[in-house]
């Protein structure tokens, strides 16, 4: 995927704050990518309005209009392929993709999760972290496979968990990091710096001209 402007398709279900971060980074030329379509399974998702404000095609595809999950996903996949999407970014898309969809776009779907995987997969990762009493949580960008938040990890960022945190306060702290590392992961893929070896994602170090495990500097606001 390196050496060109990566065409992104973003799947959402809600307000789309990660979508906004991706759009902003694309428009500011910080990453060699562009969002060409945003698809939501919810008609009133505010992320669709965000897309429209930036002149990006925004589609609502109603799951209830199809006889089953695979036919719904086929319709989504067809729309993505019509627009020659290179990379599919899940940004608050609240549906587990079937093996059919994952296999159709194998290695071309990424997701962001508000926990340090493999800990606390699934819903309410922030609440799970608070209830478990961990001292560090964070977020993870990973490739999507057939499992739930189980694909190879591209990049992670850590944030502290304070004694007086609840799910909302921790989620707000994690979200700031999500907005930083999701565009960073897309940039690495767009630049052709990603290499997957089994479960491990290796990232090419541009300075050393060799493959190396990438550890981003953390900035905690």
Q: How many CB atoms are closer than 10 A to CB 141?
A: 26
Backbone angles phi, psi at 130, to 5 degrees: -60, -45
Report the SS3 class of residue 13.
coil
- Cα separation, 212 vs 221, whole angstroms: 28
Question: What is the four-CA torsion angle of 106, 107, 109, 113, rounded to 10 degrees?
Answer: 120
Half-sphere exposure of 221 (CA within 13 A, CB side): 10
- Cα separation, 54 vs 68, whole angstroms: 32
- Cα separation, 16 vs 29, whole angstroms: 20
102 contacts 96 by C-beta, under 8 angstroms:
no
Active site residues: 113
How far from the centroid of its chain's Cα atoms is residue 184's Cα?
11
Measured at the alpha carbon of residue 168, what is the angle toward residues 16 and 151, in degrees to the nearest 5? 60
Backbone angles phi, psi at 104, to 5 degrees: -65, -35
């Amino acid at each position: 995927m390196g050496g060109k402007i990566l065409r992104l398709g973003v799947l959402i279900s809600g307000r789309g704050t990660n979508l906004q971060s991706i759009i902003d980074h694309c428009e500011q030329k910080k990453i060699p990518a562009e969002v060409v379509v945003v698809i939501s399974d919810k008609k009133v998702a505010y992320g669709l309005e965000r897309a429209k404000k930036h002149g990006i095609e925004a589609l609502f595809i109603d799951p209830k209009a199809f006889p089953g999950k695979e036919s719904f996903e086929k319709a989504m996949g067809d729309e993505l392929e019509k627009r020659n999407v290179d990379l599919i970014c899940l940004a608050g898309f609240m549906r587990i993709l079937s093996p059919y969809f994952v296999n159709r776009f194998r290695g071309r779907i990424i997701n962001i999760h508000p926990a340090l995987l493999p800990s606390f997969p699934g819903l309410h990762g922030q609440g799970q972290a608070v209830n478990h009493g961990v001292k560090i949580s964070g977020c993870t960008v990973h490739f999507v496979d057939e499992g739930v938040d189980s694909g190879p990890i591209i990049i992670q960022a850590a944030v502290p968990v304070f004694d007086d945190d609840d799910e909302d306060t921790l989620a707000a702290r994690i979200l700031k990091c999500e907005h930083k590392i999701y565009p960073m992961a897309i940039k690495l893929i767009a630049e052709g710096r990603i290499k997957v070896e089994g479960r491990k994602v290796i990232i090419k170090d541009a300075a050393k001209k060799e493959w190396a495990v990438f550890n981003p500097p953390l900035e905690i606001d």
